[in-house]
Structure 1
Amino acid sequence: MAKHRLTRAPKKLHPRAGASLRATLGATVLAAGLGAGMTTALPAQAAEPGHQVETQTMSESTQTRAGANQVNVTASQVLALAKAQVGTSENAYGGGTKFQEWYASSKRALETVARDGGNPSAYLNAPWCSMFVSWVGEQTGARPQVGWDAYTVTHAKWFAANDRWGTEARPGAVVFFAWNGSKSISAIQHVGFVVKDNGDGTISTIEGNTGNGKVEERVRPKSQVVGYGYPSYAA
């Protein structure tokens, strides 16, 4: 079972982690006009498992509607890049991954800070399963289809709002989990990519921020799946 999932804005950054990136992030925030009056403390992170948080849908300014921009990226290409990350591990403070560093310095982080409060540097040590999925989408050129957010619930709501949500496991689909078996989007705690349906009530996946703090290949029971988001991949 995974140890923690980001369903709310993260707590403050550990003082010994990410120091080299803070100055850059601070300049970015100030340039965007978000620096004045911004607090460093964010809402408390949900304890795993079971904390349910409703979040808003993704901003249309940078999070395009799923299917609005067709991309020439296949499910196989997305899964290949995801698999190449297997073994990537967080540090002792729960940070230090390229997925967190990318997200913290992205335009999307500024939007989520404007939505939820806090500071982008806090993402450097935050639970990163959704950041991993978002990073893979960005690196493959499939972000308009895969979406991007640090919050699992918001990420799932974006698929649902764009009629790309369902209950069938498909290779390359973005799979959302609730460990208690809930089928409510608001109960989602974890996210990854579907590799295949094993035909025995389980699915094979690639996930970031597992219980071991790594990117790993896993086999999960379908009973823990809330639903699937379907990127509109190229054939």
Structure 2
Amino acid sequence: MTGRHRKNLSLTAKIAGGLLAGSTLASTFAVAANANTLPENVEAAGKTTAVNATALHAGLVLDGLTTAKKDLAREQDGSDQTDVAAEAETEAEEQVGKSSATADDFIKKAKTQLGIREDGSGKTKFQEWYSKTGRAAETVKRDGGSLKSYLDAAWCNMFVSWVAEETGTKDTVGQDAWTIAHAKWFKEQDRWGTTPKKGAIVFFNWQGEKSLDSIVHVGIVTDVDGGKIKTIEGNTGNAVLERDRKPSQIVGYGYPEFAS
């Protein structure tokens, strides 16, 4: 039984008690009315006692009814508060998928990886991490290949995915190993455009082509400086490095929904 059900039972008992008291009051008034049929030699003191008892019963009944009304009002207030709490919970559920991290938080985490390079076999921690994720199992099913194949794959998008994992933003940044699929994911969610923004995920084609299917590389926008876009990228020069990119090299941007 929930707390609210217990409260409702309690309130029902109180109201029932008030009704019982009301019945008692009616009986008391009936007794008082019948007092007129008593012998005339009943002492005045006895009559006074009967009247006082009647008044006492009446007062108790009125008090009981008042208390029941107050309890009912409190229960209604509690219901209202429960409704407000439920609405708040629903609103919180609607926020699932939206980030609690800011664009600055996202960029700051990415910059902690500056200078990390491939080892002698061309591998990084980002490939190793991605190959073990549930998302990797999903993308293998979509694209074919095997989980092991990610260990030797281009890792620019795995780096972005790793930063999203570390900052709790994967639901809004997205996670993938294939840049084209990642860009199309943003497009499908109507979070795609050609305006540079800090924290945006930027997709490139070095020949200046602008179709999503021509994308060959991805990074994170860290700043916009006049005609240049400052980025941090994985798998550029076999490392995580900062770059200045020209708008002509950019296919477009995916826009995560970061906190303000």
TM-score normalised over the length of structure 2: 0.62
Higher relative contact order (CA 8 A, sep 6+): 1
| Letter aligned with residue 152 of structure 2 | N
Corresponding residue for 1:79?
107
Corresponding residue for 1:126?
153
Gaps of 5+ in 2: 1-94
Correspondences of 1:32-47 after superposition (within 5 Å) = none
1:93 CA displacement: 2.5
Corresponding residue for 1:226?
251
Q: Which runs of 4+ in 1 moved over 4 A?
A: none
Matched, 1:205 2:235: no
| Alpha-carbon displacement from aligned partner over 1:22-72 (angstroms, at most 9, x marks no partner) | xxxxxxxxxxxxxxxxxxxxxxxxxxxxxxxxxxxxxxxxxxxxx861120
Corresponding residue for 1:44?
none
Corresponding residue for 1:143?
170
In the comparison of the two structures, how many residue pairs are matched? Answer: 166
- Choose from 135, 140, 143 the match for 1:108: 135
Gaps of 5+ in 1: 1-66
Secondary structure at the aligned position of 2:99 is classed as coil
Correspondences of 1:43-58 after superposition (within 5 Å) = none
| Alpha-carbon displacement from aligned partner over 1:77-120 (angstroms, at most 9, x marks no partner) | 0000101100010123321x121111100011111111122210
RMSD across aligned positions (CA)? 1.1
Secondary structure at the aligned position of 2:139 is classed as helix
Give identity over the alignment, percent: 54
Corresponding residue for 1:183?
210
Tell which structure's C-alpha radius of gyration is larger: 2
Whether contact under 8 Å (1:103, 1:123) holds in the other structure is yes
Whether contact under 8 Å (1:94, 1:127) holds in the other structure is no
| Alpha-carbon displacement from aligned partner over 1:149-202 (angstroms, at most 9, x marks no partner) | 000000000000000000111110000000000110000000000011111x21
